[in-house]
Amino acid sequence: MFEALTERLNRAFRDLSGYGKITPENIEPALREIKLALLEADVHFKVVKEFLSLVRERSNGKEVLDSITPAQQFVKIVHDELTKVLGGESAVAEAASNTAGIYFLCGLQGSGKTTAAAKLAHLFGNAALAALDLQRPAAVEQLKVLAERIGAKFIPPQFPNDARRSAAHIRDIFPSLECKHLIVDTAGRLQIDDELMNELKDVHEIINPSETVMVLDAMTGQEAVKVAEAFRARIGLNSIFLSKTDGDSKGGAALSIRFITGIPIKWIGTGETPQAVEQFHPDRFAGRILGMGDVVSLVEKAAKATDLKQAEKAAKSLMKGKFNFELFLDQMREMKKIGPLSELISMLPGGSTLPIDAIPSEKEVSRFEAIILSMTKEERRNPELINVSRRDRIAKGSGSKPDDVHRLLKQFRQAKEMMSVFSGGKKISKKIGRMFGM
């Protein structure tokens, strides 16, 4: 549907003969590809314009290193600039500064405020959750249930028809709960709804939070900046919580807000449970916007779960272009520990463009395991050996159908192809190397 930027750039630079300089002439098609990629990532069109001039400036006449193609060099420049725009190093520190205090959440309807409130409470620990969403039916109940799930204290609205009086009650009762943090959930509202925006201003004043957080859906389009500016004008914003980043949207709206308003993105929601929350990392996010895959997050996840020795073995064989069923089995077992395969693959560079049927489901993985275990050692090491009679024997041995074996072989070939793609570029194979601790 949408091409990843690296593919776009490769195409833009394809006609470039040999390795050379990025020149004012050959840079234009590449800049156009970047423009398209950023716009398709929902980056605000004004930000795109300014950003392109930044990149043009930095790339003009830049020597391209011998070892990499102009496309990759260019991607690096774009990636660096994006990281800078997203706040660079300082953004990490900003995100880590969860000082004790009162957090006030606001945003559009359906942006994920109630879920984000629970996530922050879980992340901070020792927090109380207060419900001020008196609009949406059962919103209070939702927060209450989430509070119970994470063991946080819960403050219900005392006056179900009066957000202002309920806010005053929350403010007054909070000190007696002896919690370090207070997180206040509010009703979703359109930034142009004067009545509800006035109410928001009032309850904000009453609560007098130390930090005002806007929750932004990562799938939001060009309007995001306008929304953030309107909320900021009314109540002031200190930070952004970017929700639903476990989807496949690029989240360019967050970049636009950071670029135009300077409001830092501090946290990202990475799943539906209260535990699924992470601090924001600008470099990873830059990669996401460019469709380069979230390699670093994958490394962290893998590092937690992977048996390093085995991974090293796998990585070494991969680098040599060897890939057989023994490795495939190891990998599938490791992957099972790390998490759903589809989630992992989407983090790999180019992974978002893979057809879904290339990714075996959890159930299939178990069946595949049985099939592989019914192969001889010889067959596992040299899958080419498997002919029809061997296939039927393996099927019988593993209690599956010849079709299943056939499908496994197909998946295996796809995986092999994938691996060669991922370890293709020098830079990427280095990353994979690092990922496996080499």
Partner 1 sequence: MIRIVDKLKKGLERSRRELGEFFDAALGRGILDENAATELEEALIQADTGPQTAEELVEDMRVWMKNAGGGVIAETLREALGLRISRILRSAEVPANSNQIPKITLIVGVNGTGKTTTAAKLAARFSADGEKIILGAADTFRAAAVEQLKIWGERLNIPVIAQAEGADPAAVAFDTVQAAINRDCDRAIIDTAGRLHNKTNLMAELEKVVRVIKKLREEVEILLVLDAAVGQNGLVQVKCFAESLPLSGLVVTKLDGTAKAGIIVRAVAELKKPVLYVGVGEGIDDLIPFDAEAFAKNLIS
- Phi then psi for residue 347, to 5 deg, are -85, -15
The reply to whether 151 sits near partner 1 by the rule CB under 8 A is no
Minimum CB distance to partner 1 smaller for 134 or for 319: 134
**DSSP β-ladder status, 265-269 and 277-279:** antiparallel
Minimum CB distance to partner 1 smaller for 192 or for 438: 192
Q: Which of 359, 334, 324, 290 is nearest to 435 (CA)?
A: 334
Candidates 158, 249, 317, 414; binder of partner 1 (CB under 8 A) is 249
Candidates 261, 317, 342, 376; binder of partner 1 (CB under 8 A) is 342
Q: Helix (H, G, I), strand (E, B), or coil: what is residue 93?
A: helix
**What is the spatial order of strands in the sheet that 153-155 belongs to?**
153-155, 127-132, 181-186, 101-106, 211-217, 239-243, 265-269, 277-279
Q: Which of 129, 131, 113 is nearest to 121 (CA)?
A: 129
Candidates 69, 346, 398, 400; binder of partner 1 (CB under 8 A) is 346
Candidates 28, 45, 337, 417; binder of partner 1 (CB under 8 A) is 45
Q: Which of 96, 141, 150, 86 is nearest to 118 (CA)?
A: 150
Q: Which of 434, 412, 335, 423 is nearest to 368 (CA)?
A: 412
Candidates 248, 307, 392, 403; binder of partner 1 (CB under 8 A) is 248
The reply to whether 222 sits near partner 1 by the rule CB under 8 A is yes
The reply to whether 1 sits near partner 1 by the rule CB under 8 A is yes
Minimum CB distance to partner 1 smaller for 70 or for 287: 287
Candidates 65, 138, 305, 308; binder of partner 1 (CB under 8 A) is 138
The reply to whether 146 sits near partner 1 by the rule CB under 8 A is yes
Minimum CB distance to partner 1 smaller for 360 or for 425: 360
Q: Give strand pairing partners of 212.
A: 104
In which residue are the tokens 């990499």 written?
A: 68
CB atoms within 10 A of CB 147: 24
The reply to whether 50 sits near partner 1 by the rule CB under 8 A is no
Q: Which residues bind partner 1 (CB under 8 A)?
A: 1-2, 35-36, 39-42, 45, 108-112, 136-139, 141-142, 144-146, 149, 190-192, 217, 219-224, 226-227, 243-244, 246-250, 252-253, 272, 340, 342, 346, 356, 359, 361-362
